[in-house]
Structure formats: structure tokens, C-alpha cells
Homo-oligomer: A and B are copies of this chain.
Amino acid sequence: MNRTKQYMSKFNKNAAPFTAAEYERAKLGITDYLAANFSAKDEQEMTQLIQALGYGEGDSLIIGREATASASFAALYNGLQTHLLDMDDVHSEVRGHPSAVILSALFALAEPTTSGCLFLESYIYGIELMAQLGKLVNPTHYEQGWHNTSTLGGMAATGSLAKLLQLSLDEQCQAMSIAATQAAGLRMSFGTPIKPMHAGFAARNAVDSILLVKAGFPAQTDFLFHPQGFLATLAPNVELASVSDREAPQTWAISEPGLWMKRYPFCSAAMGIADAAEQLYKELQDKQVQDVALIFDHGRDAALIHHRPETGEQGRFSGEYVAWLGLMGRSYEAEAFSKKSLTPDVKQGLTCVTRRYRKAATGQGTELSVTLKNGQVLTACVTHPKGSPQNPLTKEEVLVKLAKSNPTINTEDYQKIMKRFTETSMTELLAWIHKGV
């Protein structure tokens, strides 16, 4: 047995049992996923994607449209749609977006007769796998330019599908290997619709990888540790010596530390900045701002690649823009993050915001330091923003997010279905999603 198979075998065998607590987290994750997905269903990119590539033939669900497609296309479509407005969840160990990839892949291959329990377990397992891969390769993999959502997401979603379809260890490793050899996604794409497309590409690659193995394609199973494998090539700084000796976790990453869920459509790295800016706005009243400093732990602003965004879309990945919106009392709704060019006065406003880095890591959030024209300095630092695991969205808040994402849906029906979900199959949920368009 090669090293990757040993690693995966240990991972599979030593995993903690699934408890009611994880099932609840997973149901909340699905709810938040659907809210993020529905929010984007009328965006032009979704029509453009169909125009570009066609549906393909098949019974898989295209969420938000009364249409079905090939499993590959459905995964691509749902991955893009869920991540399009950056309203979908994030995991700190992944340093990326797990559910957009994993659930898009799972929905593509789920059947009405699939057991609800198995679906939830496969999802929980996929998040775990992605978090473990994240712990292996972070922070250097991300900092080198990779978008973990797709590089790790493809492998994790494939592992998750292997669980759903109850493949053998050997088949699981082969399928994950095909995903590993397609692992891609560059952070240069942040601020363009190609960034959310990464979630779609990864979900599609996961589906394709499983289908290829099921059709008889063999692959190199040592996909992590092979001298020309994933780690050597995409994470060459990882110290491999002790990796395969790690123990499988005794708590699931979906619970501990848990998912971040968003209230607003911008990068999670700016969530604390937004909360801090909202606090300071109340203190500012009508005082004049001289300048604003964003003070980060080193490397914690890597996702915020736009210092001087040209459009609202780029502003999703700009700490400066998010801070400025909050300090000016502007709304964080979708309109502020559209493709439109920012107006000259906004761009002018952004010139007074700069970044600084703390000498030593503190583990705290980004500090906002606002110097007023009268010389006064106001500061705020939110380490646990609303939506982070330590300050989570409640179930009720996630249901409000869902209701807001799609005014035609009935959240009461949905709650009834999700309550029964672990006792039965996917039938009702899939039918509801179709009706819920």
C-alpha cells in the first residue's frame, strides 16, 4: 500500500462517528448553500454559461431553473452560481469555500432515492477532507497564488462523492488522483467571474473524475506523496516527513472550528473590517476623516488582492473598499459590488486608506485606525465578526438569508423537509429545490 493510500485509509478508519450535532451543522450548511445559490440565479453569467457550453444530456439538477443537465454541467453550473456573489461559506482551515464545490458535486450525482443521512455524512466527510488538505498545505500554497477553493476543493469533493457512492479505497484514491491532476485555479482571477467559476470547475472535475473511474479508467493512487504528485508539485514547501503519521481528527471540521457564513457579498477576509467600520461609523457622526489605516497580521490580507479597485466586483476583494463603505455608512448590499465602475468620488475616498502590518502575529482581526481632521484617532478591531464560528449566524438568521435570496420560496415547507431529512431519502429536498425556483 503506497503512502497516499495509507493516509486515506487511516483517515477513513479513524474518523469520529457522526453525531446529531454534525447532522444539524450539515443541514445548516445546505441551507446557507441554497441561500447563496438562489441569490445569484438571475445574474447574467448563468445564462452566459448555458449559452457557452450547453446543458448536456442528463437528469441532474440545475438549481434555480426548471431544467436538468448532465451531471458534469450541473456541477459546473451550481458551483458557479453558489460562489458567484461570494455569499457562500468559508472555512478557516481550508482557506477557501468548501460547500460551493462539495455540495455542487454531491447534488449533481445525488438521486431522489439517495439516503439523506448518507448525503449529510458525505458532505461532512468532504469538508473534513478539505480542511485536512488545507492544514497540510497552508499557508504557502495559498500565498503562492493558488485558489484553494478549487485546488483542494476538487480533491475533497471527489472524496465526498466516493463516500456517497460507496466506492472502495482503491477507487476513491484513483478518482481523487484524477481530480488532483486537474487541480488548478489562480488567485489572479479574484474580482472577475472566473473566480466563482473555479468552484464550478472543481465540482465538475470531481464529478468527471468519479465517472471516469466508474467507467474503468485506472489512475496513479499515490496522488499526494508521489514524487511528481500533488504535494511535490503544488505545495513544494510542505514538510512531508511526518504527514502520514497524523491522526484522523476526533472532531469534525464542520463543527470545530466550523463554517463561516456570510451576511454580505464580499470576501470573508474583510468581514471583520466591515464590522469594525460599522462600529466606528456610529462614533464618527459628522467628523471629517483625514486617513484610515488597516493593520493586519502578516499574510492575512492575501485574499484582498485589490488595493485600488476599479469596480464593485473588484471591491469584493478590497479591504480598503469595504472599510470605506462602512465608515461612510454605505450599504453592503449587492449593488455596491456590481460590475459598474466606481465613481470618481469613491475612488478619491479610497486614496486615504492604506495598509500596515503588525511586526508579530497576534491572531486578532484587522485593526481599523481612523485619524480625524481634528487630530483625534478612533480605532476598532473585531476578531470574531458576525458569521464567524465564534459569533455565528443563528439558524433563524440563515433562514432569513434563504428567504431573502428567493422571494418565491416557502421556508416553512423547507424547515419541515429538513427536519425529516435524516430519516428518509433526498426525494423531498430535490423536489423542493425544483419547486423553489
Which A residues are closer than 8 A to B by beta carbons?
Answer: 44-45, 48-49, 51-54, 56-58, 70, 72, 144-146, 177-178, 180-194, 197-198, 201, 208, 211-212, 214-220, 222-223, 226-230, 232-233, 236, 305
Does B188 lie within 8 Å of A45, measured CB to CB?
A: no
Structural contact, A70 and B56, CB atoms closer than 8 A: yes
Contacts A216-B44, A219-B192; A184 near B183 (Cβ below 8 A): yes
Whether the pair A220, B233 counts as a contact (CB closer than 8 A) is no
Known contacts A49-B215, A181-B186, A190-B228; 10 additional CB pairs below 8 A are A48-B215, A52-B212, A53-B70, A53-B211, A177-B194, A186-B228, A186-B233, A187-B228, A194-B220, A228-B305
A180 CB contacts on chain B under 8 angstroms: 186
Contact of A194 with B217 in the complex, beta carbons under 8 Å: yes
CA distance A164 to B183 in the complex (A): 28
CB distance from A83 to the nearest CB of B (A): 14
How many angstroms between the C-alpha atoms of A57 and B55 in the bound complex? Answer: 9
Q: Pick the contact of A52 from B53, B198, B211 — CB < 8 Å?
A: B211
Q: What are 6 A-B pairs with beta-carbon distances under 8 A?
A: A52-B215, A177-B194, A181-B186, A181-B194, A187-B228, A189-B220
**Given A146-B233, A194-B177, A233-B145: A201 and B182 interface contact (C-beta under 8 Å):** yes
Residues in B with CB closer than 8 Å to A49 are 212, 215
How many protomers of this protein does the assembly include? 2
CB distance from A89 to the nearest CB of B (A): 22
Residues of chain B contacted by A70 (CB below 8 angstroms): 53-54, 56
Q: How far is the CB of A141 from chain B (nearest CB, A)?
A: 10
| In the complex, chain B residues whose CB is within 8 Å of the CB of A184 | 181-184
Contact between A188 and B181, CB atoms less than 8 A apart:
yes
Question: Lowest 10 A-B CB distances belong to which pairs?
Answer: A145-B233, A52-B215, A187-B228, A145-B228, A188-B226, A184-B184, A52-B211, A48-B215, A188-B228, A188-B229
Given A48-B215, A215-B49, A220-B188 contact (CB < 8 Å): yes
Shortest distance from the beta carbon of A364 to any chain B beta carbon, whole Å: 25
User: In this complex, what residue of B is CB-closest to A51?
Assistant: B215
Contact B233 A48 (CB under 8 A): no
Which residues of the partner chain B approach A229 to less than 8 Å between Cβ atoms?
145, 186, 188
Q: Is the CB of A144 within 8 A of B217?
A: no
Q: Which residues does chain B contribute within 8 Å of A222, judged by CB atoms?
A: 188
- Closest beta carbon of chain B to A188's beta carbon, Å: 4
Q: How far, in angstroms, from A31 to B177 measured CA to CA in the complex?
A: 33
A400 to chain B, nearest CB (A): 32
Residues in B neighbouring A58, C-beta threshold 8 A? 54
A186 contact set on B, CB distance < 8 A? 180-181, 223, 226, 228-230, 233
Chain B residues with CB below 8 A from A44, complex form: 216
A177 to B56, CA, bound (A): 25
CB distance from A323 to the nearest CB of B (A): 22
For A70, A191, A220, which residue has the most chain B Cβ atoms within 10 angstroms? A220
Q: Which residue of B lies closest to A211 (CB)?
A: B52
Closest to A213 in B: B52
- Please indicate the chain B residues that have their CB under 8 angstroms from the CB of A54 in the complex: 56-58, 70
The smallest beta-carbon distance between A46 and chain B, in angstroms, is 11
